[in-house]
């Protein structure tokens, strides 16, 4: 939200004021987004969905005007602002769905990451020719969910969606470690513990 407002302060101060007003919807919930998730799921709090959608639509509606400025710099700055406005929209929905007992929040998050990747690919390709992009992610996101039990639950992930979109242009490289220590928890939300990594087989 701060990035969108900072951009608009530079190119359209009146629009920046409207963005501040819309994003102020989140001020009631403090800095922890899980407060928003809990309040909208269980306490009947009004969602900020319409505000973030309106902000994204207005930004896009003025794109032609904003892109008239400063050549390549204007194109990059608008792209970053639009991506941040989309992030606010998707994050609002993600946190609103957070307490659902289905796969919708997981799928929304990974779909957002792939949409961002594809938008970055289009942006860089339009400016520089064919883009080459490296994505660093945890194996639960970068593997192919369709080949795991995730797929049977209806979940998809970055790896699956990228392979479906890019085919053989996508290359997956896995990393591991030979020995050492790692800080890990035994389950979600459990405290982290320092553990020794079993030495890899030769």
> What pLDDT, in 10s, does the model give residues 20-43?
999 999 998 998 899 999 999 899
Q: Model-level pTM?
A: 0.83
- In this structure, what is the dihedral angle of CA atoms 55, 60, 64, 67, given to the nearest 10 degrees? 80
3-state secondary structure of 195: strand
Domain boundaries, the chain: 1-99, 100-177
CA-closest candidate to residue 117, choices 164, 176, 63, 66:
164
Q: Is 8's pLDDT higher than 80?
A: yes
- In this structure, what is the dihedral angle of CA atoms 113, 116, 118, 123, given to the nearest 10 degrees? -160
**What's the confidence (pLDDT) of residue 189?**
83
Which token pair is 199? Answer: 């030495």
157-172 mean pLDDT: 93
Q: Is 71's pLDDT higher than 80?
A: no
88-108 mean pLDDT: 88
- The pLDDT confidence band at residue 174, using thresholds 50, 70 and 90, is confident
Which token pair is 120? Answer: 């970055």
How much of the chain exceeds pLDDT 90, in percent? 69
Q: At what angle do helices 2-11 and 13-23 cross, to 10 degrees?
A: 160
For 102-159, write each residue's pLDDT tens digit: 778 899 999 999 999 999 999 999 988 889 999 999 888 988 899 889 999 999 999 9
């Amino acid at each position: 939200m701060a990035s969108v407002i900072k951009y608009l302060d530079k190119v359209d101060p009146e629009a920046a004021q409207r963005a501040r007003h819309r994003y102020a919807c989140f001020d009631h919930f403090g800095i922890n987004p899980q407060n928003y998730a809990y309040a909208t799921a269980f306490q009947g709090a009004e969602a900020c969905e319409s505000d973030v959608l309106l902000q994204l639509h207005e930004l896009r509606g003025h794109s032609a005007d904003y892109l008239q400025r400063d050549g390549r710099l204007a194109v990059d700055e608008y792209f970053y602002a639009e991506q941040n406005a989309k992030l606010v929209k998707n994050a609002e929905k993600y946190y609103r769905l957070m307490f659902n007992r289905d796969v919708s929040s997981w799928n929304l998050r990974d779909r957002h990451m792939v949409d961002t990747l594809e938008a970055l690919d289009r942006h860089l390709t339009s400016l520089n020719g064919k883009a080459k992009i490296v994505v660093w992610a945890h194996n639960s996101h970068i593997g192919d969910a369709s080949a795991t039990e995730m797929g049977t639950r209806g979940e998809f992930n970055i790896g699956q969606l990228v392979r479906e979109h890019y085919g053989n242009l996508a290359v997956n490289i896995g990393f591991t470690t030979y020995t050492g220590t790692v800080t890990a928890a035994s389950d979600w939300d459990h405290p982290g513990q320092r553990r020794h990594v079993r030495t890899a087989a030769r």
